[in-house]
Structure 1
Amino acid sequence: MSTPASDHAATDRSLSGLLLLLATIAGVSVANIYYNQPLLDDFRLSFPQSASWIGVVPTMTQLGYAAGMLLLAPLGDRFDRRRLILLQIAALCIALLFAAAAPSLSVLVIASLAIGILATIAQQAVPFAAELAPPSQRGHAVGTVMSGLLLGILLARTAAGFVGQYLGWRAVFGASIVALLMLAAVIIARLPRSKPTSTLAYGKLLGSMWHLAVELRGLREASMTGAALFAAFSLFWSTLALLLAGAPFHYGPQVAGLFGIVGAAGAMAAPLAGKFADKRGPRAIVSLSITLAALSFVVFALSGTSLIGLVIGVIVLDVGVQAAQISNQSRIYALKPEARSRVNTVFMVCYFIGGAVGSGVGAFVWPLFGWVGVSVAGLLFTALAGLNHLRGRPEPLAASGATE
């Protein structure tokens, strides 16, 4: 005969298994928008007549992801998220097939745009985790799934680089299709259906995101803080390869890709950040995270010729940025439980806009001011995040996730 304690333990094991599955869904799907970055030289060799346009491939993938977040992610409030995930996986496999068989750069560019749009499956997985978890475990649940997302982002370049080197760039897209089909089989067997929380028509669903941003001060604050921190994060990662390619390092792109493994420490810290957010409140963790991110750029400024210093800085930066994102998302999901997908969309669109700004600043600052200039720009972004965070105010207990 079961007891309340045994039932509770079984429930915890079931939730842990579902969160691990959602983390895998997030990581495997988001990795698709980063696979092409270490393969650009291979694309150039395959399509020499279009070599000057190779950079369009990752650009269109990123634009596609932004469009997918805006146009597809809000559907999670209107329809069963399990069904949406499976439909997007099926369409993503078709887009990957076109990319793997692309006879020209133009076909690869169109396929890359579609890949970016459809890889937003991760933006269904994160609010799904918030829905499945009780309020007292929401931060931990979001942190677990976000750890999978960050691992996908950080390790995608490393995996694509190795597979592309030994099997060719087309095999990278083929391998992703196989991984997604295997994942779909597990989803069909294990993932439950979600409960739609909105009956709004599609147009009104999209329009309601503006009203949510106006209505929810906490959403605006978290989005701006997240955008500034991700700007600093993207600034660093978009210039690291340039630093490593020059004196005194003279390393190739593979070594820069291996820094993604070092950065995976941040993904490992995500569930811990979520647990602390549940216990201490998300604002306290965001304050600590901003401090860590700022400290990392001080380390970077002093480590322009030190590999060990760069490694330490990467770990501190990734832990800080990841912990802040987990805490901010745990916080915003409690603001409007019936609109989690739309709230997440507002946050993530701002987040990626910040990332694009950071990459642009890196491209401008590096040739003019070098690594010290990059480090100062990163510090300024973290200062902007800190000022915005200090201007905010804690939400009432009911909005913080303690009760609902």
Structure 2
Amino acid sequence: MSTILGGGRRLLLAVVCAVAVANVYAVQPVLDAAGSDLGLTAGGLGWLVAIGQAGYLAGLVTLVPLGDVLDRRRLIAGHLVLTAAGSAVVAASTTAPLALVGLGVAGMFAVVVQTTVAYTAAVSSPHERGRNIGAVTSGVVVGILGARVVAGFLAGAAGWRSVYAALAAASVILAGLVLISLPADESHEGARGGYRQVIASMGRLVAADRMFRSRAAIAFFVFASFGTLWSGLALPLSAEPWHLTPAQIGLFALAGLAGALGAARAGRWADRGHAGTVTGWALVVLIGSWAFTARTGQSLWLLGAGVILLDLAVQAVHVSNQHLITTARPRQAGSAIGAYMAFYSLGSALGAVTTAWTYATAGWPAACLLGAGYATAALAVCALSPRPHPAGAAAHRPPGSSGELARR
């Protein structure tokens, strides 16, 4: 079953992604306030971030594959309600353990983002699949980067708990809109096997599909580079010579947002068979962005340019990867995206951990060299990647189009 997703439905799905992923990242700008209120020591603050990420990783493996055996529209609505429940617990928590439980639940069901992307791929007309995925995944970037800005200002006006109260309310409203506004997803009908078989297929996908492994490896290194920037950027900006406040540092997320939204057209290029070319050029831009970011100590304008280029490149690669993966396995979109996003999460974690150590040991220029190194590794994997299957690429070309098949 496929249908044309109009602008209103694409916008709704993008907002679902933005609000859901914000549940994972909203704690970062309010970390100090939340930790102080909950009685956590400085060493314990990291758990407020880690528990949401751990829940998200668990949800990728256990919840996203459900979309291959159930109606994804109802699954999206249900997971939004459970995400809201987790956020509500955080907003009402009076102790650190209770807040951690809420953050873990909210993080786990925030994988509704990936179910939403799989739903978009399943109900889209073949010649608009890349365009729709690009538009919907732009919401993910809005959530990741926008959460840092909005949460900071909202917490300043009404306290850190108001951030999670607002997320809970928004998630419930969106769940209702999804049920009212979106068509049912019937793509799972006729699929063989049940949930256990879908989970097992994720392992077989990693073991046997070379194209998937190459795209997953590219994502791993790309998001390690992404994590290097966004987990470490506050360190040089809060030090000499800038001494910026957390709110001022958060404004750089707006530059990243502009860059990421600029990559929405990558989906249209993927629809025309150019996903491999887009990936290659985007990785070159990603490597080059670090030359600007390394000059943070000399110019905030150069840093801004580097942030825009990095997020533009990362989003272009991400959209192209998901287009290729869902096109190759349309009936396994849920399990394929779940497995793919596990590499995304692991890469982001690697970037965060190694950046802190590198900055403490050798400073920000060395951390930038690390980020560029991860991007270079992604380009090397891309150069060695297999080309997409000709039949699959042709099947998803717009009617009446012609031209060479995309490479990789």
Q: Same fold (TM over 0.5)?
A: yes
Is the Cα contact below 8 Å between 2:271 and 2:396 reproduced in 1?
Answer: no
- RMSD of aligned residue pairs (Cα, Å): 1.5
Name the structure 2 match of 1:243: 236
Q: Are positions 1:326 and 2:319 aligned together?
A: yes
Please name the residue that 2:65 is paired with.
74
d(CA) in 1 for partners of 2:135, 2:301: 28
- Paired with 2:18 and 2:84, the residues of 1 have a C-alpha distance of 16
Shift of 1:82: 0.9
The structure that is helix-richer by fraction is 1
Deviation at 1:399, TM superposition (A): 2.3
Query: Which of 73, 80, 86 does residue 77 from structure 2 map onto?
Result: 86
State how far apart, in whole Å, the 1-side matches of 2:217 and 2:248 are. 32
Question: What is the CA–CA distance in structure 2 between the aligned matches of 1:185 and 1:74, rounded to whole Å?
Answer: 23
For the Cα contact (< 8 Å) 2:66–2:334, is it kept in 1? yes
Cα offset for 1:402?
4.1
1:202: how far off? 2.2
Matched, 1:62 2:19: no
Which residue matches 1:129? 120
Q: Number of residues paired by the alignment?
A: 393
Distance 1:16 1:401, change over 3 A: farther
**Residue 360 of structure 1 pairs with residue 332 of structure 2:** no
Shifted more, 29-38 versus 189-198: the winner is 189-198
Deviation by residue 1:242-278 (Cα, 9 ceiling, x = unmatched): 0100111100111121111111113322321111222
Q: Does residue 97 in structure 1 map to residue 88 in structure 2?
A: yes
Task: Summarize deviations over 1:147-196 as a string: whole Å, max 9, x none.
Answer: 11111111011111111111011111111122112212211210111112
1:303, distance to aligned residue in structure 2 (A):
3.5
Structure 2 unpaired stretches of 5+: 398-408
Q: 1:369 aligns with which of 351, 362, 369?
A: 362
1:382 aligns to what?
375
Normalising by the residue count of structure 1, what TM-score does the alignment of the two structures yield? 0.94
1:345 match: 338
Alpha-carbon distance in structure 1 between the residues aligned to 2:6 and 2:358: 46
Give the structure-2-normalised TM-score: 0.93
Q: CA deviation at 1:54?
A: 2.1
Could you say which residue in structure 2 is the equivalent of 1:147? 138
Runs of 4 or more off by more than 6 Å in structure 1?
none
Q: Call closer, same or farther: CA 1:401–1:133 in 2, change over 3 Å.
A: farther
Deviation at 1:307, TM superposition (A): 0.3
**Are the counterparts in 2 of residues 334 and 401 from structure 1 also a CA contact under 8 Å?**
no
In 2, Cα distance between the equivalents of 1:45 and 1:148?
Answer: 31
Shift of 1:90: 1.6
Counterpart contact for 1:331–1:401, Cα < 8 Å: no
Matched ranges for 1:237-276 at <5 A: 237-276=230-269
Provide the rounded CA distance (Å) in 1 between the counterparts of 2:33 and 2:39: 10
CA drift of 1:199 comes to 4.3
Corresponding residue number in structure 1 for 2:129: 138
Alpha-carbon distance in structure 2 between the residues aligned to 1:156 and 1:31 = 5
Partner of 1:164: 155
CA contact (8 A) 1:289 1:320 kept: yes
Match of 1:116 among 73, 98, 107: 107
What secondary structure is seen at the aligned counterpart in 2 of 1:251? Answer: coil
Cross-structure match for 1:7: none
Matched, 1:299 2:292: yes
Q: Distance in 2 between matches of 1:62 and 1:360?
A: 13
Distance in 2 (alpha carbons) for counterparts of 1:34 and 1:403:
35
| TM superposition shift of 1:30 | 0.9
Structure 2: how far apart are the matches of 1:95 and 1:396? 42
Cα distance in 1 between the residues matched to 2:285 and 2:43 = 39
Structure-1 separation of matches of 2:41 and 2:237: 28
Instruction: State the Cα deviation string for residues 262-319 of structure 1 (Å, max 9, x = none).
Output: 1111332232111122225210000011001000011122333210000000000000
Identity value in percent: 32
Question: How far did 1:87 drift?
Answer: 1.1
Render the CA deviation track for 1:2-41: whole Å, top value 9, x for unaligned.
Answer: xxxxxxxxx75x5332222111111111111011111111
What's the CA shift for 1:215? 2.6
Aligned residue identity for 1:233 = F
1:129 partner amino acid: T
Distance 1:383 1:60 in 2: 30
Q: Runs of 5+ in structure 1 lacking a partner? A: 1-10
Paired residue for 2:328?
A: 335
